[in-house]
Structure 1
Amino acid sequence: MKRRMTPLGIVLGLIVLAASSATAAEDARTILDKAIKAHGGEAKLSKLKTMTAKAKGKGPIHFGGEVAFTLETSWQWPDRLKNAVTLTIVRPTTFIETICGDEGWCNYDGKAGPLDGAKQDELRAQAHVHRLQLLTPLLQDNLYELSVLDEIRINDRPAVGVCVACAGERDVKLYFDAETNLLAKIERRTLNETGLKEVVQEDLFSNYREIDGVPTATKLLRRRDGKKTLELTFTDVRYPDQLDAAEFADPHPYVRRCDVIYGRKAGATLTMDVFTPKKGAKGIAVVYPVSGGWITKQTMIDMPLLSFFIDEPVKRGYTLFAVCPGSQPTFTIPDAVADVNLAVRYIRYHAREFAIDPRRIGVLGASSGGQLALMLGVAGNEGDPRSNDAVERTSSRVQAVSCFFPSTDFLNFGAKGKFVFAEDSGAADFRAALDLREFDKRTKRLERISDQEKFEELCRRVSPVTHVSPAAAPTLLIHGDADKIVPLQQSEVMIAKLKEAGVPAELVVKKGMGHGWNSMDRDMSKLLDWFDKYLKN
C-alpha cells in the first residue's frame, strides 16, 4: 500500500531537518570556539589583519628530483597577498606573484608582467584561506555556512573538522587536533601546476610555537591527490599592526586604464588600454595597434613575449595606447584600418584627458600591426568636417611611424603581380582578412566581391605603398632578410617610395632573421630613438 505523508508529518519533518541543521551549526561553533581559545583567544585573533613570513622549503621539479627554495609571503586583510619564491637551478631566480583586490601582477626574474587568470584565482583562494585561519570571522560573519565533518586521524591523532562554504569560493575544510584544538590540516580543491586538472590539496601543520601570544605552526607539509609536493619550515613569522602600501604596489612603471571605449561598431565596442608613465611622462602619445595576422584579442596585450611593446615606450616617458581594432574573420583589413584611424581621432580629441600633446603622436606595430601603423602614417586624414560627431571631425594623422616587418603591397607581395594570400604565400593562412563582401540589395545578403577589378582596387586602398606622398610621416622599418611570411621586399619598396617622395625613411635589415627574433626587445630601442628624433618638438 502506498504511504502518504500527512501535512503534520511534513511539518514535523521540516522541524527535524531544521533542528538537525541547527545542531550541526552549533557543533561547528563549539569546535571553532575551542580552536579560537587554543590559538590565543578572540581578543588577539580579532586584531590580526596582517602577516609576514619567511620560510625554507623543497619540492619536486618536472624533470626529476627536488629543488630547494626560499619563500617570503605577506598578507593583509582582506585581499592583499604577495608570494616571493627564490630557487636555484642554474642560477638564483626569484618569482613574485601579487594580488591587491581585483588587480594582479607578477615579477619573474626582475621582469614585471601580468598575472594570468588561473594564478590570480589561486592567489585569491589563498587570501580567502588566510581570512579563514583567523577563525573569529567564521563566527561573526553570516557570509559563512558551517557544517561538521566526520572525525579523522592526522599523524595518528584524532581530528575534528568544520567545512566552510562561502558564496563565490570553493569549500574549505578545517581540521583541528581533537586534544589541543590547534589547526592540523586545511583541505581544499585547486588546479594542479599546469592549470589543467583539479586536485585535492592538503596542508598539514605542525611544530607550533607562540608568536605575539598566538600559537603558530612553523612546519607545513603539502600533498596534492595524496602525493607530497612541498615541505616548508617557517623561520620568521610576524603579525605587524600594518604593512607599507608599497608591499603590494604594482611594479610596472605605468598606470593602466583598461577597456577605454574609443568607438562602437556592429553592436560591439572598440576598446584600448592606456598606459601612462608613473613618472617622467613627456606628453607624447604612441599608438600600438594590437594585431597579428589581422587577428586581435584583448589577451594579446598581456602576452609576456610582446611586453616590450608596452614596457619600453613607457620607460621612455611615452603614453602608450594599445588599440584593439576589429578582428578577422568577423572583420576585414579595411575595417581594421578604419578602426585605428578612429582610435587616433579619439586620442587626439581627448588629448587633455590623456595629458598628451595632440601634435605629437607616433605609431608602432609589427606584422599586420605594422601595416595598420603604416596606413596611419601615409593615409591618416584631417577628418570629416561635415560629421555631427566631434571625434569624426578630428584628424587621424600621426607624426612618426616605426615598425617591424609590415605588409605594404597586397598585390605585389614578394614579386610583381603576386597576391598576398596566394596559395604559395607565407601569409595564406590569414586570407579571411581580405574576404571582402558587400550587401546585395537583390539577395539581401552579404555577397563576396567577385568583380576582380573592384577587389584589386580595394586591396590597393589598404596597401600603404599606394598612399605615399610628401605629407607622409617619417618612417623607420626593421625587417629580417629570412622572413618567410612577409618578404623583405615589402619593406624595401615602401622605404624606396617614401624616399622618392622626400619623406625621412630608413630600413634596418636583420641578417638571417625571420618573422620575429629573440632580440626584438633590444631592437625596440631603435624604434624609440626614431620617435625621440621626430616627436621631440
Structure 2
Amino acid sequence: MRTSLQFIFLLVYASVAACCQGQEVTISPDVVYGHKSGLAMTCDVFTPEQDANGAAVLFMVSGGWFSNWSPPEQTQHMFKPLTDKGFTVFAVRHGSSPKFSIAEAVDDVRRSVRFIRGNADRFEVDPDRIGVFGMSAGGHLSLMLGTASDEGNAESKDPVEHISDRVNAVVAYVAPTDLRVMAKDAPDRLPAYDRFPALEIDAKSATADSPIIFVTADDAPTLLLAGAKDDLVPISYSRNIEAAFEKAGVTSELIEFENAGHGFGGEDAKKATEAMVNWFVTHLDK
C-alpha cells in the first residue's frame, strides 16, 4: 500500500514529463544531509546543465511516510518539467515508517532544508528561493515545512541546526492536513488508515504534526491540488486548510479535480504538473 501511494503520483508525473525532450542535467546521487541511528540520510540532486535559474525545489520522496530509494538515473525524467525551467531539484528521502515516526520524518526533512540552505554556494542555489512539493504523505511533509518552520536554534551544538528551515513556496498534492482525524483514537477515523503503521498515533500527539494547526500569516505561498473523489485523503482536508490560509491572509490556491481520486491521470495530471511548475516559477522568481 505504501509503495502504491508513493509511486502512483510518480508514474503519472513521469508520463507527463516524458512527452518531450529537454535539457540535460548533472546528477549528484546520495548526497548526505545528516545521520541518525548509524544511518545516512540522503538526497539526489538534479542540476540543469544550462540556464539554471538559481532556485531550488525539494521533492519529498514519501508515500505513507515511507521513503523509497530508486536509482536517480531512472527518476531523472520525473523532474524534467522543473529542470527544463532551470530549477535545481533535490529528491529528499527521510527515515521510513514503521521504524521511524511521522514526527521523525518531519525532523528529517527540516534538516534537509537547513543543509541545502547552508550549502547553497555548493549547489549554486539561492538560499532565499527554496520550494518544496510532494504527494500524499509527501504533501503533508511539504505543508509542515510551509507552515511550521523556524529560524534555527543558535544554541545547538550542531551547526546545521543554526540554519532556518523555512521554505519560500509549497505545492501539496492530495495532502493530509490534520492528522488528528487520522489518529487511532479519532472517532471518525477511516478504516483505510489502519493499514498505515505511521498513523498508530493518538490525536494528542498528532497535533504537533498537523499543518492546519500552524497556519499563520507568514506561511509560504501554497498551492493545493486535490481530487474530489479521493476516498483516502478526502478533499475536505485541502478545503479546510485553504480556508485557514484565506483567513490568515496567506497567498494560496486550491485546484480541485472533479473526477480524480488519490492521484491524477491524463489531462488532470498534465494540468496539475503545469500548475505546479507555474507556481514555482511565480513564487521563486528572482
TM-score, normalised to structure 1, is 0.47
Specify the alignment match of 1:458 in structure 2.
205
SS at match of 1:256: strand
Taking a change above 3 Å as real, the CA distance of residues 285 and 473 of structure 1, as seen in their structure-2 partners, is same
Q: Which of 24, 32, 39 lines up with 1:268 in the alignment?
A: 39
Secondary structure of 1:271's aligned partner: strand
Residue 55 of structure 2 corresponds to 284
The residue that corresponds to 1:350 in the other structure is 119
Tell me if the contact between 1:411 and 1:418 (Cα under 8 Å) persists in the aligned partners. no
SS of the residue aligned with 2:91? strand
CA-CA distance at 1:418 after TM superposition: 4.4
> What are the superposed Cα offsets for residues 282-316 of structure 1, whole Å, 9 maximum, x if unpaired?
00000111001111111286666x953x1211111
Determine whether 1:476 maps to 2:242.
no
Structure 1 counterpart of 2:191: 425
Partner of 1:8: none
Encode CA deviations 1:218-254: one digit per residue, 9 max, x unaligned. Answer: xxxxxxxxxxxxxxxxxxxxxxxxxxxxxxxxx8621
Match of 1:336 in 2: 105
Deviation for aligned residue 1:521: 4.3
Q: Which residue of 2 aligns with 1:401?
A: 170
1:236-280, Cα deviation, whole Å (9 max, x unpaired): xxxxxxxxxxxxxxx862111000000001111100000001111
Does 2:283 match 1:534?
Answer: yes
Cα deviation 1:151-201 (Å, max 9, x = unaligned): xxxxxxxxxxxxxxxxxxxxxxxxxxxxxxxxxxxxxxxxxxxxxxxxxxx
SS in 2 for 1:342: helix
Match of 1:434?
Answer: 199
CA, structure 1 residues 385+334, in 2 after alignment: closer, same or farther (shift >3 Å)? same
Query: CA separation of 1:360/1:315 partners in 2, compared to 1, >3 Å: closer, same or farther?
Result: same
Going from structure 1 to structure 2, the CA distance change for 1:301 and 1:343 (only over 3 Å counts) comes to: same
Aligned equivalent of 1:256, options 27, 31, 34:
27
Query: Which residue of structure 2 aligns with residue 78 of structure 1?
Result: none
Partner-residue secondary structure (3-state), 1:260: strand
Write the distance in 2 (CA, Å) between the matches of 1:532 and 1:402: 12
| Mapping 1:4-23, distance limit 5 Å | none
List per-residue Cα deviations over 1:304-348 (Å, max 9, x = no partner).
Answer: 6x953x121111110000000010111110010000000000000
In structure 1, what is the Cα distance between the partners aligned to 2:144 and 2:82?
21
Q: Determine which of 524, 530, 533 is the counterpart of 2:273.
A: 524
Once residues 270 and 198 of structure 2 are traced to their aligned partners in structure 1, the CA distance between those partners, rounded to angstroms, is 28
**Residue 191 of structure 2 aligns to a residue in which SS?**
coil
**Alpha-carbon spacing, 1:307–1:291, altered in 2? closer, same or farther (3 Å):** farther
Q: Distance in 1 between matches of 2:170 and 2:18?
A: 27
Considering only aligned residues, what root-mean-square deviation do their CA atoms show, in Å?
2.4
Mapped to 2, the partners of 1:499 and 1:378 lie a distance apart of 14
Higher strand share: 1
TM-score, scaled to structure 2: 0.87
Rounded to whole Å, the distance in 1 between the matches of 2:72 and 2:177 is 24
Counterparts of 1:300 and 1:409 in 2: how far apart (Å)? 33
Pairwise CA distance, 1:401: 0.4
Q: 1:497 to 1:484 in 2, by over 3 A?
A: same
Letter aligned with residue 533 of structure 1: T
Q: 1:412, CA displacement in angstroms?
A: 2.9
Q: CA deviation at 1:534?
A: 1.2
Compute the displacement of 1:111 (Å).
Answer: 3.7
1:314 is aligned, of 66, 77, 83, to 83
Q: How do 1:13-92 residues align onto structure 2 when only pairs under 5 Å count?
A: none
2:285 aligned partner, one-letter code: K
Distance between the aligned counterparts of 1:363 and 1:481, measured in 2? 23
For 1:252 and 1:535, how far apart are their aligned partners in 2?
20
CA distance in 2 between counterparts of 1:470 and 1:388 reads 31
Letter in 2 for 1:425: P
Contact 1:301 1:307 in 2 (8 A): no
- Structure 2 match to 1:372: 141
Q: Match for residue 514 of structure 1?
A: 261
In structure 2, distance between residues paired with 1:358 and 1:500: 29
Asked if the contact 2:181–2:203 (Cα under 8 Å) also holds between the matched residues in 1, the reply is no
Number of residues paired by the alignment?
266
Structure whose CA Rg is larger: 1
Q: Is the 8 A contact 1:363 1:402 kept in 2?
A: yes
Alpha-carbon offset, residue 522 of structure 1: 4.1
- Residue by residue, what CA displacement relative to the aligned partner does 1:78-137 show, whole Å, maximum 9, x if unpaired? xxxxxxxxxxxxxxxxxxxxxxxxxxxxxx9x949xxxxxxxxxxxxxxxxxxxxxxxxx
Residue 201 of structure 1 is matched in structure 2 by none
1:297 pairs with 2:68: yes
Deviation at 1:493, TM superposition (A): 0.4
CA distance, structure 2, for counterparts of residue 301 and residue 486 of structure 1: 29
Q: Which amino acid aligns with 2:134?
A: G
